[in-house]
Amino acid sequence: MKKVILGILMLLCGWTSVSAAEKSFSSPDGQLTVWVDDVNGAPAYRVMLGETEFIERSPLGVKTNIGDFTQNLTLTGCEIKKVQEQYQLSTIKQSTVNYEATEAVCSFEQQGRKVIDVVFRVSNRDVAYSYTIYPKGGTLVCVVDSEASGFQLPSGTTTFLCPQSRPMGGFARTAPSYETSYSLDDQMGKNGWGEGYSFPCLFRVGEKGWVLISETGVDGNYVASRLLNVKDGLYRIGFPQQGECNGWGSTSASVALPCQTPWRTITIGTTLANIVETTVPFDLVSQKYKASQEYIHGKGSWSWIIGMDASCNFDEQKRYIDFSAAMGYQSVLIDALWDVQIGREKIAELAAYGKSKGVGLYLWYNSNGSWNDAPQSPKGKMDKSHARREEMAWMKSIGIRGIKVDFFGGDKQNMMQLYEDILSDANDYGILVIFHGCTLPRGWERMYPNYAASEAVLASENLHFGQGACDAEAFNATIHAFVRNTVGAMDFGGSTLNKFYNANNSRGSRRVTSDVYALATAVLFQSPVQHFALAPNNLTDAPAWAIDFMKEVPTKWDEVKYIDGYPGKYVIMARRSGDKWYVVGVNAEKTPLKTKIELPMFEKGTELQVYSDDAELNGSLTTVKQKKQMAITIPTNGGVVIVNK
């Protein structure tokens, strides 16, 4: 407690130094406290929320080719200041963010020379740190081979993780692409399939609370990382695998000095509220270039998810443009093989037709390159600057809205540079970018103004591919709100209203979730651009209230509130757009979820529209007057949606 008070006092005084052997500093509300030390020359930190240690003493430091900065270091002091910033970002979970944090720059010397700072940011929800690496005399570049950056979780902690794939595996050797299944409430001490885990990584520290570990601010200046288990409860940052990108490129990061490395982020809460509501991926990064224009986000349709490759033909795409127009949607996404099955001249014709109906087109591209066997075309248009810019100039000339680039080669620095180059070139031509078969976005909504969303999840395509994914659909949905989707836009491509993943709506994988569930996930899954898995036949074969809702549902949000839930069981949360709150829930448990929820966001007497399911998953829409508390029942694979009129 003394140290907490000391932390607050230091804040009041502005810039200062702590002279004790162990330095500490706290969040603006004084609840989250970090201690830093250099015992035995090895830099380390630990984190407490209130009286509970959530991260036990864990290693810090980097190993580079100009020195090993994980040992023989002396902590010379921490410079502490208060950080306050307000920013607007319409494409994330919260449109206006008031960011407040304590910054502590902790400097370490080796043989009398300042070698690294560990820069900490402590907000009321999150601890983050990154390294500043200093030049060594006239040596102004270095290679970072690894980080000691560790996270020692208390014993008894359980894990909610998905494994990082081995390289050059999976479909057409496109792995890793962050498309693996979660194990929930698992014990620590495992290491996925031997290669650790994909970010973000969720942990439950018994009854005491939750920890979400991730990273942000990764661009072409560094590698993207994963989380490796060292032993028992100790995890550390892992760099990419040698085999990624068909072996091309280094697993290390090559940097110019001084450099600041990406942020390691730790979100901590006694409930899952902080995990759901955190804005830490965006708080710590800044915009890398200005938007060339105001980008149009919004909703769209997408034939491929129901009709697959065969549907990428002129007539069907025209029908989907009509469908999007009928829904009031802004776009149609034309998936792989359009170059062969439609052709460039006819694409221009479709773009003009879409424009006449207020519908913009997104075009699919293969990212490769030499890093996988994916045969889908167009190929060879996105991996080299001259081809890419020529292609984008063509797109601009016919008014293409955006691109969906698929099948990336992993997390090495060369791939991070490719993501960044595609984004910045696309901005020159006014094009929005969606990534698929890709890595996790790491603060990219704020860094790149034309970045729309990424897949990096077992997305809706798997529902088409197999019944197993359909049967597990609700189970997976209850995880995403707490893990994948909380750190960045998730292009899931869901909210299917077909009974079957087939153009005749009569055979193939069968959807086991309800129509209300489909509506709920349109709110639950956050992305500023949504290409829903709806089909033209849904205008006549789906309930009118479901179609009406899907016409109106926003894709941009002002605020998010966690209400209740548990990964893999159920989730209830709320998003606000303007003066409308959308309270949504889905249930994956074997038994109906019966609960009472508080609805303080609605004023007394407000008329609420309630979409709910009966025991047979038949949905209905009713109108009720706002009550302080509402009793709800969500059947297995069902949903609930509550919206003020």
Residues in the site for Ca ion, rule: CB under 5 A?
A: 437
To the nearest whole angstrom, how small is the minimum distance from the Cβ of residue 436 to Ca ion?
5
Least CB distance to Ca ion at residue 530 (A): 16
Nearer to Ca ion, 238 or 437 (CB): 437
| Smallest gap from residue 378 Cβ to Ca ion (A) | 17
CB of 571 to Ca ion, least distance (A): 23
Cβ-Cβ contacts under 8 Å for 356 (sequence gap 6 or more): none
DSSP state of 487: S
Q: Is the dihedral of CA 320, 325, 326, 329 positive or negative?
A: positive
The helices-and-strands tally (H runs, E runs) of the chain is 16, 36
Q: What is the closest distance, in whole angstroms, from the C-beta atom of residue 458 to Ca ion in the complex?
A: 8
Alpha-carbon gap, residue 464 to 383, rounded angstroms: 29
* Number of residues that this document lists for the chain: 645
Taking the CA atoms of residue 326, residue 332, residue 338 and residue 344 in that order, the dihedral angle to the nearest 10 degrees is 90
Q: Say if strands 150-152 and 331-334 run parallel, antiparallel, or are unpaired.
A: unpaired
Of the pair 195, 406, the CB lying nearest Ca ion is at 406
Task: Scan for tokens 């591209």, then name that residue.
Answer: 365
Residues 6 or more apart whose CB falls under 8 angstroms from that of 5 comprise 30
Minimum gap (Å) between residue 174 Cβ and Ca ion: 8
Q: Give 33-44 as a 3 state SS string.
A: EEEEECHHHCCE
Six token digits for residue 97: 């963010």
| DSSP-assigned letters across all residues of 187-217 | ESS--BTTTBBPSSEEEEETTTEEEEEEEE-
Half-sphere exposure for 477 (CA within 13 Å, toward CB): 37
Quote the least distance from Cβ 179 to Ca ion, whole Å: 6
Separation between Cα atoms, residue 126 and residue 269, nearest integer Å: 9
- Residue 170 or residue 592: which is nearer to Ca ion going by CB? 170
Residue closer to Ca ion by CB (options 405, 524) is: 405
Ranges of H-type helices in 429-571: 444-447, 461-465, 467-471, 473-480, 515-524, 538-541, 544-552
Q: How far are the Cα atoms of 470, 476, 482, 517 from residue 590, in angstroms, in the given order?
A: 15, 14, 20, 15
**CB of residue 384 to Ca ion, shortest distance in Å:** 23
**Residue 437 or residue 536: which is nearer to Ca ion going by CB?**
437
Cα R_g (the chain), whole angstroms:
25
When the beta carbons of 209 and 437 are compared against Ca ion, the nearer one is 437
Provide the pairing of β-strand 451-454 with 113-122.
unpaired
Tell me whether residue 8 is exposed, middle or buried, using C-beta atoms within 10 angstroms of its C-beta: 0 to 12, 13 to 18, 19 or more.
Answer: middle
Closest CB to Ca ion among residues 147, 335: 335
Q: How far apart are CA 558 and CA 95, in angstroms?
A: 5
CA distance linking residue 499 with residue 497, whole number of Å: 6
Q: Least separation, in Å, of the C-beta of 280 and Ca ion?
A: 26
Least spacing, CB of residue 97 vs Ca ion, in Å: 30
Shortest separation between residue 332's beta carbon and Ca ion, angstroms: 19
Element (H or E) spanning 153, and its range? none
**Amino acid residing at 478:** T
CB of 531 to Ca ion, least distance (A): 13
Q: Compute CA distances 459 → 98, 173, 177, 477, 493, whole Å.
A: 32, 18, 11, 10, 7
Give the separation between CA 405 and CA 392, rounded to whole angstroms: 13
Give the residue with the Cβ less far from Ca ion, 440 or 572: 440
User: Residue 43 or 176: which CB sits closer to Ca ion?
Assistant: 176
> Which one, 435 or 549, has the nearer CB to Ca ion?
435
Closest approach, Cβ 407 to Ca ion, in A, equals 8
Closer residue to Ca ion (CB): 199 or 210: 199
Question: Nearer Cβ to Ca ion, position 410 or 536?
Answer: 410
Q: Minimum distance between the CB of residue 483 and Ca ion, rounded to whole angstroms?
A: 17
Residue 351 or 382: which CB sits closer to Ca ion? 382
Counting other chains too, the contacts that 35-42 makes at CB distance below 8 Å and 24 or more residues apart are 35/3, 36/60, 36/75, 36/78, 36/104, 36/106, 36/118, 36/120, 37/75, 38/73, 38/74, 38/75, 38/108, 41/71, 41/72, 41/73, 41/74, 42/70, 42/71, 42/73
Peptide bond into 28 cis (omega under 30): no
Q: Which is nearer to Ca ion, 158 or 377 (CB)?
A: 377
Minimum CB–partner distance for residue 455 and Ca ion (Å): 5
Taking CB atoms, the residue at the shortest distance from Ca ion is: 437
Best CA proximity match to 493, nearest among 382, 364, 328: 364
Closer CB to Ca ion, 157 or 180, in the complex: 180
